[in-house]
Amino acid sequence: MQMKPASIYDIEEIYNIEKNTNKHPWSKENFESSINAGNGSLILKIEGNIVGYAFFSIAGSDSHLLNITVSKDHQKKGFGNKILEKFIYQSKVLGATVIFLEVRVSNELAISFYEKYGFKRDAIRYNYYNGNPKEDALLMSKQGL
């Protein structure tokens, strides 16, 4: 098992996981622009294959989790925990004291996953996610890293 930052060369593999895992996936361009903007990233590889990833931005004392995903065939095996724990650690090392994220209000599994790590429900951002119908986002944060 190996964890390291994503590179532009990983985009194709990451995008294949994204589109096969998420109902509303990021585009290849979203991943490319995140890397090109200098945002942080982590990929988890097993036997040379990416099985999960996280993308995040850090500005001053704020860390913002943008995307975290584990491939369908590797879910429920603790890999999401490993990625989130490494992301929290990196955020702390890079000077963040709070982490923010948005999650679809319908994604109860993800919400309980974040709560397990001490994230609190802060607010609702109405009609945040595109689609038909649009969906609200639950804003969550973890203080005092």
Q: Which residues are catalytic?
A: 102, 114
Say which residues have a Cβ less than 8 Å from residue 91's Cβ, sequence separation at least 6. 56, 58, 63, 99, 145
Say which residues have a Cβ less than 8 Å from residue 95's Cβ, sequence separation at least 6. 58, 60, 61
Residue of 99, 96, 91 whose CA lies nearest to 42 = 91
SS3 17: helix
Structure tokens, 104? 């679809």
